Amino acid sequence: MTGSAGGGGKRRGRRPGPSGTREAILAAARDRFTSQGYDRTSLREIAADAGVDPALIHHYFRDKAALFLGAMRVPDLELALGQALAPAGGAADPEQIGPRLLRAAALLWGDPELPRTLAGLLRTAATNEQGTAMLREFLGHAVLSRIAKALPSPDAELRASLVGSQIFGLLMARVVLRLEPLASLPVEDLVRVIGPTLQRYLTGDIGTGSSD
């Protein structure tokens, strides 16, 4: 049995028409992620709530992380991350991941919906414990873990979390707060200024005694 427990199970019934299927899945996912968090929500539960076959979720969304991004109206961070970590289908040079990550993140900042989306996510995280857990779980599993796996270092998880905090803080200052002159700094200038800091977090000396 799926979708009967944990809240949000209120979209059972006949599958909606083709034009409404994707939106029904997104609405069901939004309810589940909000009420249960990222880890405890399953695709089968979401499919049951939306009244669709679970296979249809994979027709519209490549995986759970992509569905979360769509449901929470977040630009596709994972796609940008993939482009930074595996350019042209290969593996990125560890010594160049910092600037590539920053450049990939900057490509998302032009989305006109991003400031409102970030503000909403922050509001949820600041006022709702479940919202905080949901964002932490998603960022940890779908974003930071992928960065860590690309690093040949025993403290890769720490390094990835340092990079994540830097990028998220920069995103808030540049996109939400519009802190000048940072907000108007051209992307390539931003990469030149901050890219080396990210790279130090990734492969340089961070004082843990594990750097080569």
- Domain assignment present for residue 13? The answer is no
Give the pLDDT score at 35.
Answer: 76
Lowest mean pLDDT among 59-63, 72-76, 142-146: 72-76
134/140 Cα distance (integer angstroms): 10
143 and 160 fall within a common domain: yes
Sign of CA dihedral 36, 37, 39, 44: positive
Give the pLDDT score at 77.
Answer: 66
The CATH number that applies at residue 23 is 1.10.10.60
65 and 124 fall within a common domain: no
103 and 46 fall within a common domain: no
Domain boundary among 70, 87, 107: 70
130 and 33 fall within a common domain: no
Q: Check pLDDT > 60 for residue 61.
A: yes
Reported as a single tens digit per residue, the pLDDT across 2-29 is 343 444 444 444 444 555 899 999 999 9
* pLDDT (mean) for 19-40: 83
Confidence of residue 117 (pLDDT cuts 50, 70, 90): low
50 and 145 fall within a common domain: no
41 and 122 fall within a common domain: no
- Domain assignment present for residue 1? The answer is no
29 and 120 fall within a common domain: no
| Domains contained in the chain, number | 2
136 and 189 fall within a common domain: yes
Reported as a single tens digit per residue, the pLDDT across 170-205 is 888 888 788 999 999 999 999 999 999 999 999 899
Q: Which residue has the higher pLDDT, 31 or 108?
A: 31
Domain housing 63: 18-70
140 and 53 fall within a common domain: no
Domain boundary among 48, 70, 92: 70
111 and 126 fall within a common domain: yes
Give the pLDDT score at 211.
Answer: 54
Residue ranges of E strands in 29-182: none
Element (H, E) at 48: helix 43-50
- Domain assignment present for residue 84? The answer is yes
40/58 Cα distance (integer angstroms): 19
Give the pLDDT score at 59.
Answer: 92
155/32 Cα distance (integer angstroms): 33
* pLDDT (mean) for 32-39: 78
- Domain assignment present for residue 211? The answer is no
Residues 85, 57, 134, CA angle at the centre, nearest 5°? 60
Distances (CA, A) of 73 to 111, 116, 129, 153: 11, 10, 20, 34
